[in-house]
A and B are shown apart, each in its own frame.
Chain A
Amino acid sequence: MDQFIEQIVTGLSIGSILLLVALGLSIIYGSMGIINLAHGEFVMLGAYAAWVFHTYLGLGLLASLVPIFLVVAAFGWVIERYVLSLLNNRPLDTILATWGVGIMLQQAVRLMVGSELRYVQLPPALSSSMSVFGIPVSSYRVFLFVVSIALFGATWLLMNRTTVGMKLRAIIQDRSVAASFGINAKRVYALTFAYGAGLAGLAGALVSPLKSVSPDMGTGYVVDAFMVVVLGGVQSLAGTVASAFILGELSGGIAFLQNDTVAKAIVLLAIVVLIRFRPEGLFTARVRA
């Protein structure tokens, strides 16, 4: 029984990391419909930003979270403004462009700071472990869980309770009608993309003390993020949350019973089968077209 609870808690922790990484993509892909293959590189930029703030400015990870969000969001804004907005309504070109941007970011980081693994310190206050339902769990993992839920809450409020969110939803439904009501679609798109990129950057910074920081670290995350968003259902924030935790429990559980190689294969297979029979994903937001 203890082992069962331990595994459930582990799954929640894996799920919260997946959610963290997928949340930004859920906004960019789910809401704006942009297939952003550079998402992993935004995650990577966030991790490197954490390293730079720590090594050169002596800022701890927690203190640098807000600046990291702003820096990566600014990157996102520039890329939306000067690359993606020029390719409006051309999905294929957008895929290629974001892929290219991703490669350029990777190589730029490699050229500027070298390709060795980088070190980001675990916040000392969170480096111990604590007891959850009688199970010893790393405090930092509990912290990640709380942060991911909080970020989801903030994103939900932003989308559903603010004017920017309302404008975005209006644009998604019908861009030309929204524009005729005086909504500046360009500006809203750029801001949304920047926000999604910033979230990805935060995710990178937050996972970096548990994992490793290297120029090509984003490749794994972008795959995870797409799996979560596709399974959860595009355009559904709540679906993203549910699917992140389902995938977390599933891969954690199979990894415990079998091993991580098998878990990876089975999870991927399950998603492929599910998409075959339910292309819209597990959850769909009902939108009147």
Chain B
Amino acid sequence: MSISRRTLLRNTAALGAFAGAGLPHIWIKNADLAYAAGGEIKVGVLFSLTGTTAIIEESLNKATLLAIEEINAAGGIKGSKIVPIVEDPASDPATFSEKARKLVVGDKCVSVFGSYTSASRKAVLPVFERQNNLYWYPTLYEGRECSKNVIYTGAVPNQQQDEFVPWLVKKFGKKFYLIGSNYIYPKEENNYCKKLLEKLGGEVVAEEYVPLGHSEFSSVINKIRSTQPNVIFSTVVGDSVVALHRQYKAAGLDPEKMPMASLTTSENEVAAMGGEAAAGHFTSAPYFMVHKSPENEKFVEAYKKRWGADKVTHFVSEACYFQTYLFKQAVEKLATSDLTPPNIRDAVKGQEMVAPQGKVRIEPENLHTWLWPKIAQAKSNGQFEILVEAKDWLKPVPYAAYPGQSCTEKGLVEKS
């Protein structure tokens, strides 16, 4: 009998309808088992290896693979090996969405680790929500999101700014120059910064956004000269960070009088701009490579050993590393037959571990992470010096800039 495409389609549809109506239990059971078939747990790794943001996402890919290799070398998760399926979404949101669907539907991955930019996260979100799968997002981001299918292990605005902005005001003064790249992340961060400044009696002398990838800052520097702020609050991203710092330095401005305070400048960007252009400026983040802890020493050593002695770790690659271990802890709590993305999500709520930055915890309410804010100053050797460490870990509040709204286990709640 030859099967034409049409009859195949019809038969499959009929079979599906039959199964859906009559035998849901068995079908769902089978699907569950597929997630841990043959002593293998398949996970997706979705970071751009080509295109604009490959500059940074390559290191995220490496940190994730390092954690997976370590877990497998130590015996896997209850005897099962984690099998990473690496896809290259090429820095393009549409490709992100397509590859995410492939990993979730085609490869039946039980979770996917991925994304650096907010644009790419927003692009894959519908895939994970529709398939009820789980996405692990390691990047600091603007908050204002409350998905039940994403575990957020990077900082949200309150975790980067609550300590930072008052500290800057006290140390340097109240006049802030806000500069960012022209997209959602800098705008939301600046929103929150303005709220904090309002409380502190601060002043915003200018709020300005440059196109993504912009590299000519001489007019911006003229404006900075003429407005004379105390602090340049920067959420410029990518290669623009490098150009801004270098041109600031070349123009002869002095970081001691008018420092840049950044939420986005990590060891990675400092390596590209050179220590002399970075020296004296400040960054707020939960993790710096120089942080002293046994866990961090182990992480940095393993990273350099695996990927090269000249490589640096930074606050996003650290999150990639520890979130893979959180995934392991959550899976360990589940019986093999219960291994599904929603169950992993429920199991990871309230999970704690000692990460390189300190002890972190997934907040059950909003699936974001309790982190340890730090303020550090860049040095001419390309590393940071940590000046302020939080005394306690800080709860993630993704809607900090929106007082009426909060993210709960039931989803977004609005109080009127």
Is B a genuine binding partner of A? yes
Q: Report which A residues bind B (CB closer than 8 A).
A: 3, 6-7, 10, 13-14, 17, 107, 110, 114-119, 121-122, 127-129, 136-138, 140-141, 209-214, 216-217, 220, 251-253, 255-256, 259-261, 263-264
Measured between beta carbons, the chain B residues less than 8 angstroms from A129 are: 250-252
Measured between beta carbons, the chain B residues less than 8 angstroms from A217 are: 239
CA distance A160 to B272 in the complex (A): 41
Measured between beta carbons, the chain A residues less than 8 angstroms from B210 are: 259-261
Measured between beta carbons, the chain A residues less than 8 angstroms from B271 are: 116-117, 119
The A/B interface has a contact count, at CB < 8 Å, of 113
Additional A-B contact list (17), CB under 8 Å, known A13-B218, A117-B269: A3-B222, A6-B225, A115-B58, A119-B274, A128-B252, A141-B250, A212-B215, A212-B239, A212-B273, A214-B239, A216-B52, A217-B239, A220-B215, A255-B220, A256-B222, A259-B208, A261-B209
A127 touches B242 (CB 8 A): no
Partner of A119, one of B209, B222, B272: B272
Measured between beta carbons, the chain A residues less than 8 angstroms from B223 are: 256
Q: What is the 8 Å Cβ interface bit string for chain B, positions 242-279, against chain A (1 contact, 0 not)?
A: 11001101111000000000000000110111101000
Give, as a whole number of angstroms, the nearest-CB distance from A111 to chain B. Answer: 10
Q: Report which B residues bind A (CB closer than 8 A).
A: 49-52, 54-55, 58-59, 182, 208-211, 213-216, 218-220, 222-223, 225-226, 239, 242-243, 246-247, 249-252, 268-269, 271-274, 276
Give, as a whole number of angstroms, the nearest-CB distance from B129 to chain A. Answer: 31
A114 touches B252 (CB 8 A): no
Contacts A14-B216, A122-B246; A260 near B252 (Cβ below 8 A): no
A7 touches B219 (CB 8 A): yes
A138 touches B250 (CB 8 A): yes
Identify the interface centre among A14, A212, A220, A251: most chain B CB within 10 Å of its CB.
A212
Measured between beta carbons, the chain A residues less than 8 angstroms from B216 are: 14, 17, 251, 260
CA distance A209 to B273 in the complex (A): 8
A210 touches B243 (CB 8 A): yes
Give, as a whole number of angstroms, the nearest-CB distance from A66 to chain B. Answer: 24
CA distance A122 to B216 in the complex (A): 16
Residues of B contacting A: mostly:
helix
14 contacts between A and B (CB under 8 A): A3-B226, A6-B222, A6-B225, A7-B222, A116-B59, A117-B271, A119-B273, A122-B274, A138-B250, A140-B250, A141-B218, A211-B246, A220-B213, A261-B209
Measured between beta carbons, the chain B residues less than 8 angstroms from A114 are: 58
CA distance A260 to B206 in the complex (A): 14
CA distance A10 to B222 in the complex (A): 8
Measured between beta carbons, the chain A residues less than 8 angstroms from B276 are: 127
CB-CB nearest 10 A-B residue pairs: A117-B272, A129-B252, A255-B219, A138-B250, A212-B239, A212-B242, A115-B54, A211-B215, A260-B210, A256-B219
Q: Nearest chain-B residue to A259 (Cβ)?
A: B208
Give, as a whole number of angstroms, the nearest-CB distance from B311 to chain A. Answer: 9
Measured between beta carbons, the chain B residues less than 8 angstroms from A216 are: 51-52
Give, as a whole number of angstroms, the nearest-CB distance from B266 to chain A. Answer: 12
A10 touches B54 (CB 8 A): no
B58 touches A116 (CB 8 A): yes
Measured between beta carbons, the chain A residues less than 8 angstroms from B274 are: 119, 121-122
A10 touches B272 (CB 8 A): no
Q: Nearest chain-B residue to A17 (Cβ)?
A: B216
CA distance A252 to B247 in the complex (A): 15
CA distance A121 to B223 in the complex (A): 26
Give, as a whole number of angstroms, the nearest-CB distance from B92 to chain A. Answer: 12
Give, as a whole number of angstroms, the nearest-CB distance from A107 to chain B. Answer: 8
Measured between beta carbons, the chain B residues less than 8 angstroms from A141 are: 218, 250
B250 touches A122 (CB 8 A): yes
Give, as a whole number of angstroms, the nearest-CB distance from B290 to chain A. Answer: 20
Give, as a whole number of angstroms, the nearest-CB distance from B8 to chain A. Answer: 40
B246 touches A210 (CB 8 A): yes
Measured between beta carbons, the chain B residues less than 8 angstroms from A212 are: 215, 239, 242-243, 272-273
Q: Nearest chain-B residue to A116 (Cβ)?
A: B55
Q: Nearest chain-A residue to B211 (Cβ)?
A: A261
CA distance A140 to B250 in the complex (A): 7
Measured between beta carbons, the chain A residues less than 8 angstroms from B52 are: 216
CA distance A255 to B214 in the complex (A): 12
Give, as a whole number of angstroms, the nearest-CB distance from A48 to chain B. Answer: 13
B219 touches A10 (CB 8 A): yes
Measured between beta carbons, the chain B residues less than 8 angstroms from A209 are: 246
Measured between beta carbons, the chain B residues less than 8 angstroms from A214 are: 55, 239
Q: Nearest chain-B residue to A6 (Cβ)?
A: B222
A138 touches B251 (CB 8 A): yes
CA distance A253 to B219 in the complex (A): 7
Contacts A212-B242, A214-B55; A116 near B268 (Cβ below 8 A): yes
Measured between beta carbons, the chain B residues less than 8 angstroms from A137 are: 251
Measured between beta carbons, the chain B residues less than 8 angstroms from A121 are: 274
Give, as a whole number of angstroms, the nearest-CB distance from B244 to chain A. Answer: 10
Contacts A129-B252, A212-B242, A264-B211; A252 near B272 (Cβ below 8 A): no
Contacts A115-B54, A119-B271, A261-B182; A127 near B218 (Cβ below 8 A): no
Q: Nearest chain-B residue to A260 (Cβ)?
A: B210
Partner of B220, one of A115, A210, A253, A260: A260
CA distance A210 to B242 in the complex (A): 8
Measured between beta carbons, the chain B residues less than 8 angstroms from A255 are: 219-220
Q: Nearest chain-B residue to A138 (Cβ)?
A: B250
Partner of A259, one of B51, B209, B222, B268: B209
